[in-house]
Amino acid sequence: MKAYSSELIRRLESIVKPDYVIYDRAGMGVYELDASDESIAGVHTPDVVVLPETAEQIAAIVRVANDLSVPVIVRGAGTGLAGGTITTRGGILLVTARMNHILEVNETDRYAVVEPGVINLDLTAALLGRGYYYAPDPASQKTCTIGGNIANNSGGPHCLKYGVTGNHILGLEVVLADGEMAWFGGASSEMPGFDLTGVMVGGEGTLGIVTRAMVRISRRPEASGVLLAAFPSIDSASRAVSATIAAGIIPASMELMDHLTITAIEVSAQAGYPKDAAAVLLIELDGLIQTVAEHKQIVAEICDEYGATEVRVAQSKAEEDALWLGRKSAFGAMGRLAPNYHLTDTVVPRTKLPLALERVAEVAVEYNLKIANVFHAGDGNLHPLILFDRNEPGAMERVLEASEVLMQYCIDLGGAVSGEHGIGIEKQEALPLMFTDLDLEAMAKLKRSFDPENQLNPGKVFPTSFDPYQRLDSPEKVALHVD
Ligand SMILES: Cc1cc2nc3c(=O)[nH]c(=O)nc-3n(C[C@H](O)[C@H](O)[C@H](O)COP(=O)(O)OP(=O)(O)OC[C@H]3O[C@@H](n4cnc5c(N)ncnc54)[C@H](O)[C@@H]3O)c2cc1C
């Protein structure tokens, strides 16, 4: 136990009931990992886990952490794939699971106010009866929290038409690094001053702790429909994606799964996908009854034109749910194909998808790896899942090299190192692939101004070779960089 620990525990237990302050090794075991790749993030035990119930408790915890110079790392549901919740430097792991209340629903002004630990799908479930829903829907929505979604600016299948989390956050209550509380944004369409809500969205818990969120709620569309189209090649499927959007139709979602993924899904979830297809597109359309009917027809024709061997239109809600179940169980199904997988979340402009997927196939051959593809095709957001066995000597190195080659290629196509999962630990070393030291320094200035003592989720996002607290402001450094 570290020297500060007994005082830390005593002070935390004076803020939160002792039942919610966990510091025995067995109790903390479940918080050592999140959904990220353990081979990269490693296993790290926090000094203490605390489950507060209110924003005021969080503020008090942060003030204690300041007094004792202890890092504070926030955790929602731990479904993050970038290692954002891993306590690499120890510290207080602050879990928001008990802050799971929907505080207000305002249908007239179309917003809800929620605590950060509300599960994404629970919010939609609470709104459906009133004719509303919460649009951003990560495939992990049965488990992940609104706080985690905000911190990672998460996407999801329906973000093609409706935008990612950031497009649905109106205001935030935040506990800052000094333990003070602030409110940014609000229900009005225009807010004066700097857009600090925007700064917090995607902040990965490094700039402030979200304790309350005002989120946009959306009216349920009058109708929706789901189609499954099977293709003889991944290339023809991805060309059908661009053609659909070029035809002026923005489906609610367009998800692409390749043959390997279909095989894994059919073994584990039996969603009824055609087992011999090289790729399937799962397409959801929504809107007015007549528009959905017309668009179904047009999209089916486009799929035919691009060589679809089958286009199936779900005839009931049960059939739609079965098709979606396949997609939503895809990551979990990978266990049927290999003991481990490494997910490279990257993004390219949609029209570059065929090129990017071609490169994925080449890299699989070059590195002698199996790579499955399941992704938000409409957004150009790729998720090559590189399958491997961690126990095979050299496998991890090969996987990481292949992943970096793919990221670099996507950047060269005008894309980015992450499409939606955030940077955390997993992508921190990849940031220099797309940002210069001067770009990183601009981000470091923001980090230093919100968190001058580096207490909030330290060691994340910035590459390990770039210390955000060592100022890059001397003329020689700038000149060197420019050279
Ligand atoms: C099967 C599966 C499918 C997935 N599908 C998608 C998908 O379709 N789209 C997508 O974008 N992601 C997806 N993800 C990734 C993940 O679910 C999202 O990143 C999600 O938003 C994380 O939420 P969480 O509550 O689990 O956050 P956590 O993993 O607990 O935390 C994530 C980050 O948020 C920070 N954080 C959490 N709460 C707060 C808070 N209150 N204030 C400040 N910072 C906070 C943490 O410190 C950490 O940096 C998927 C993951 C899995 C396992």
pLDDT mean over 361-370: 96
**Nearest atom in ligand 1 to 376's CA:** 8
pLDDT in tens, 24-48: 999 999 999 999 988 888 899 999 9
254, 235 in Cβ contact below 8 A? no
Q: Residue 210's beta-bridge partner residues?
A: 174
Q: Is 313 helix (H, G, I), strand (E, B) or coil?
A: strand
Ligand 1 proximity of 334 Cβ (cutoff 6 Å): no
Give the model confidence (pLDDT) of 335-348 as tens digits: 999 999 999 999 99
Index of the ligand 1 atom closest to the CA of residue 150: 21
Rounded CA-CA distance 435/411 in Å is 11
To the nearest 5 percent, what fractions of the chain are helix, strand and coil?
40, 20, 40
Please give the pLDDT value at position 107: 96
Kindly state if the Cβ of 84 falls inside 6 Å of ligand 1. Answer: yes
Distant-in-sequence, close-in-space partners of 155: CB < 8 Å, separation ≥ 6 = 136, 138, 164, 165, 376, 379, 381, 419, 420
Cα–Cα dist 150/129, whole Å:
25
Q: Which top CATH class is 338-412?
A: alpha beta
Residues 51 and 424: their CA atoms lie apart, in Å, by 22
The answer, yes or no, to whether any atom of ligand 1 lies below 6 A from the CB of 79, is yes
Say what the pLDDT of residue 350 is.
Answer: 86
Confidence of residue 218 (pLDDT cuts 50, 70, 90): very high
Region class of 457: left (phi > 0), else alpha (psi between -120 and 50), else beta? left
* Alpha-carbon gap, residue 477 to 483, rounded angstroms: 10
pLDDT for 2: 57
Map tokens 């390990």 to a residue.
464
What does each C-alpha distance from 38 to 32, 165, 204, 413 come to in angstroms?
A: 10, 26, 19, 29
* pLDDT tens-digit readout, 423-440: 999 999 999 999 999 999
The response to whether residue 145 sits with its C-beta less than 6 Å from ligand 1 reads yes
Question: Residue 352: helix, strand or coil by DSSP?
Answer: helix
Residues recorded for the chain:
483
pTM: 0.94
**Fold equal for 5-95 and 102-219:** no
Residue type, position 55, single letter: A
How far, in Å, is the centroid of ligand 1 from the Cα of 200? 14
What pLDDT is stored for residue 482 in this prediction?
Answer: 44
Ligand 1 touching residue 419 (CB < 6 A): no
Count of Cβ atoms closer than 10 Å to residue 316 Cβ: 8
Instruction: Please give the distance, rounded to the nearest whole angstrom, from the Cα atom of residue 152 to the centre of ligand 1.
Output: 6
Q: Is 71 in the pocket of ligand 1 (CB under 6 A)?
A: no
Q: What is the rounded CA–CA span in Å between residue 407 and residue 404?
A: 5
**Local confidence band at 4 (pLDDT 50, 70, 90 cut-offs):** low
Q: Ligand 1 pocket: which of 44, 53, 75, 184 to mutate (most atoms <8 Å of CB)? A: 75
What CA–CA distance (Å, rounded) separates 197 from 58? 19
Q: Which band of pLDDT confidence, cut at 50, 70 and 90, is reported for residue 131? A: very high
Residues 185 and 210 sit within 8 Å (Cβ to Cβ): no
Q: Which CATH architecture has domain 102-219?
A: 2-Layer Sandwich (3.30)
Q: Tell me which of 53, 120, 140 to substitute to probe ligand 1's pocket, judged by most ligand atoms within 8 Å of the beta carbon.
A: 140
Which of 40-44, 130-134, 259-263 has the weakest average pLDDT? Answer: 40-44
Domain residue spans of the chain: 5-95, 102-219, 223-332, 338-412, 435-482
Residue 474 — pLDDT band, cuts 50, 70, 90?
low
Return the CATH number of the domain spanning residue range 223-332.
Answer: 3.30.70.3450
The domain made up of 5-95 has a fold known as 3.30.43
Q: Whose CA is nearest to atom 34 of ligand 1?
A: 148
Q: Band of the pLDDT at 480, cuts 50, 70, 90? A: very low
Q: Which atom of ligand 1 is nearest to the CA of 84?
A: 49
